Structure formats: C-alpha cells, structure tokens
Amino acid sequence: MTEPPTETRTPEHSPGTPRLIALSDGIYAIAMTLLVINVAVPANLPAAAFHKALNDALPSLGAFALSFTLIAGFWRDHRRILTALPVETIVVTRLILLGLGLVALLPFPTGLLAEYASQPDAVALYASAMAAIHAVHATLLLLTQRQVHPSPASPAAAARRRFTAQLASSALVFGLSIPLAFVNTEAAMWFWLALIPAHYTLGHYPRRRPQP
C-alpha cells in the first residue's frame, strides 16, 4: 500500500512559524500598551498643581513616544524576519524568544528613562536594551541568510544584507551611547539620532550603480 504524498509546506506556513508570529504579536502588543502606564496625572488637582503635573508628565510622554516608535520598528522587523524564516532550529527559536523577552522588558527601562533621564545608569540601561534587541535581530538574519537566499548575488539577498547592516548599525549606535551616558547623559541621547543618517546611508548607498 503506497503512502499518500507528503504535503509541501512553505516556511511561512510551517507548523512552528505561525505560533511564533502569534506569540510575538501578542508580546509586542502588550509591551506597547504597558508603555502608557508610565504616563499619568493625579486626579482632583487644583489648577496650579494640575499644570505642574502636566509639565512633569512631558518626559514620560517623550519616553513613551520614543519607545513606541522603536518597538513598532522592532515589530515590523520581527515579522519581516519570521515570514521569511526557513525551518526553525533550536538556536533560531531561542534567539527569537530572547528577543521577545527583551521586548517584554522594555517598559521598565522606558519608565526609568522618563523619571531619571539625568542618571547615567538609566540611560545606559535603556541603550543596552535597545542594542541587545537590534543585535538579536541582526544575528537572526545572519544565521538564516543562506537558507532564505541561497544565491548571494540576487537582489533579494542584497536587500537582506542591507537590512542586516541597518540593524547592526542600530546596535552599534546604542552600544556606543552606553559609555557616553556616563560622561554626558544628554549627549548620549542626542547620539541616538545618528541612527537616521546611518540607516539612510546603508539603505541607499549599495543601490547606486556607476554611470556608464
């Protein structure tokens, strides 16, 4: 008796990947929601105290906006990695779970940054968390590059390498800001803006072709 043909599954429809995507979506949603807990103004305040409390909440709003933007980018990058993921290995799955654990932790350093932005430890801890998540995502891309794009000369493979370089540059910028925080916390936070030209350069420079 012949066995029925085995159903061929693409990587994004393998049994493990949908579960990882569902898990990651849930963790990202919870982390993004918990960020707003740090933004609060006490009730039943007189006018003068209300305006003071509102001004005091501005750092929390700023930290919320920064972390929400970065987590949204992490979520987008994470889905981009997972939807192209080949058959999961133990190492890849553990790296994914490590990244999700770091994302779930982000409301804590975000709250510290909002309340203690002048303290080097708070800025360094926030930068460390951001650097670690970017490093995990870049490592995932490196580990699965050949499985996803066997031909290194293909445009898709080149785009994936640019993506990896952008994530690595983010890890580098946040990593360099850690020692800088112990010299000047404001300079360390302003240094994070280096992500913008770094991502733009790495995303566009390799696409240029010499003119004939």
CA–CA separation, 41 and 44 (whole Å): 10
Q: Tokens 């990202």, residue? A: 28
**In this predicted structure, what is the pLDDT of residue 212?**
43
CA–CA separation, 28 and 90 (whole Å): 22
Q: How far is CA 127 from CA 87, 117, 143, in A?
A: 32, 12, 24
CA–CA separation, 206 and 204 (whole Å): 6
**In this predicted structure, what is the pLDDT of residue 149?**
64
Q: Which amino acid is at 203?
A: G
**In this predicted structure, what is the pLDDT of residue 10?**
43
**In this predicted structure, what is the pLDDT of residue 43?**
77
Residues of the chain scoring pLDDT < 50: 1-15, 208-212
Half-sphere exposure of 197 (CA within 13 A, CB side): 3
CA–CA separation, 186 and 134 (whole Å): 22
